[in-house]
Amino acid sequence: MISNIFKPKKQQLIQEGQQNITLGKLVKFSHYETIFKYSFFAVLFVISLYSLDVIQFQQFLKEKNLRRFDWSDLKWMIIGLIMIHITKEINRYLVFDYVSKSLDQKYIGLDRQLRVQKIIKWIYDTLYYSVATIFAYIVFRDEKWFPTELGGSNFTETMYDFPNMPDNPWVPFYYMIQASSHVHALLLLMVYGTKIELKYWEYLLHHFLAVSLLYFSTIYNCESIGIVVLVLHDISDIFLAYGRTYADIGKNKILVYVSFSAIQISWLYTRVYVFPIKIYDIIVNHPGFSLYWENTKHALYNQVGLMIVLFGMHIYWTIFMVKVGIGIFSAGKYKNVYDNRENKLDNKKEN
């Protein structure tokens, strides 16, 4: 019943991002969904061109007797999918009542229901990314491909020992568990996203890029790239998930500002500073690619290309963060201009 009441308004909001694009509107990001929709299909088309190359690359690894992914380790992804689903349901059961009671009263109706679900997800994300980051740091910090910027103690180059698969026994386990998390998120979005998500194409592109990077980095023995990208994202996602949660259920404004500051610092450092450094390092320092250039060049193009598209999304999100920051530190008021694109369903102005 509630969904029927809000459906016309929701459709209107979705259509806001589906109109003809002008340069002025593009600069103002008023038609973001159209941009992300076209970007998604462009990325999908480009990566489809790698279908034959991934087969040839696997044959190359076999001929050269190089270390490669053992497909029996896919069992960890299956186990991960099951465990992630179970732990998410447990998390939902434990925090649902608390979130429902604590959520800011400005959210009403369908908007409130959707917000509760998002906060429950963010609470889970905070815990998951924290555990994943700590685990990765403990087991990978001494690897020659683990960045000094993230606490690595023995960094040489991101593509160290390529085209061999990284020689660390924890790589398959960590990689498949992380893959299960991103595949789970992508599947949920594809099944339920069109019904409740106003930023559907934006999130679809992001999750699709993540899954594509995981898949191709596994096929191309570029797990070192994948792990670095995962850790970079997970660090900032800890603060992002927690900060967005506390902004809506927290009572202390000072802690809201502290949380937002932590988001800004971690985000700018990992995604805007370190991430492009790693892209540059892969492009410039790749002796493994040079040694077998004809066999591995498409792996380089694939990984760098996907990372550049992902970095473009980082810049897009950074613009919204800057806008939120200006609101906080100039007006002394938290107004999330990014998340609140969803919160127009109740037709209320923010206080």
pLDDT band at 333 (very low <50, low <70, confident <90, very high): low
**Per-position DSSP letters for 152-183, written without gaps between them:** -SS---TTTTTTSPP--TTHHHHHHHHHHHHH
Q: Is 28 helix (H, G, I), strand (E, B) or coil?
A: coil
The CB density around residue 162, as the number of other CB atoms within 10 Å, is 27
For residues 15 and 33, give the distance between their C-alpha atoms in angstroms, rounded to a whole number: 9
Section 193-203 average pLDDT: 79
Section 141-149 average pLDDT: 94
Angle at 342 between CA 341 and CA 344, to 5 degrees: 85
Candidates 125, 251, 243; CA nearest to 188 is: 125
Angle at 256 between CA 232 and CA 188, to 5 degrees: 50
- The pLDDT of residue 329 is above 70: no
Angle at 23 between CA 18 and CA 24, to 5 degrees: 90
Residue range 221-255, pLDDT digits in tens = 999 999 999 999 999 999 999 988 887 887 777 78
Q: Which of 62-71, 101-110, 178-187 is modeled with the greatest confidence? A: 178-187
Mean pLDDT for the chain overall: 84
pLDDT band at 56 (very low <50, low <70, confident <90, very high): very high
What pTM value is reported for the model?
0.83
At residue 294, the pLDDT reads 86
> Taken in order 81, 87, 91, 94, is the CA torsion positive or negative?
positive
Section 140-158 average pLDDT: 93
Helix (H) or strand (E) holding 309: helix 293-331
For residues 9 and 132, give the distance between their C-alpha atoms in angstroms, rounded to a whole number: 39
- The pLDDT of residue 23 is above 50: no
| DSSP assignment letter at 153 | S
- Torsion angle of the four alpha carbons 207, 212, 213, 218, in this order, in degrees rounded to the nearest 10: 130
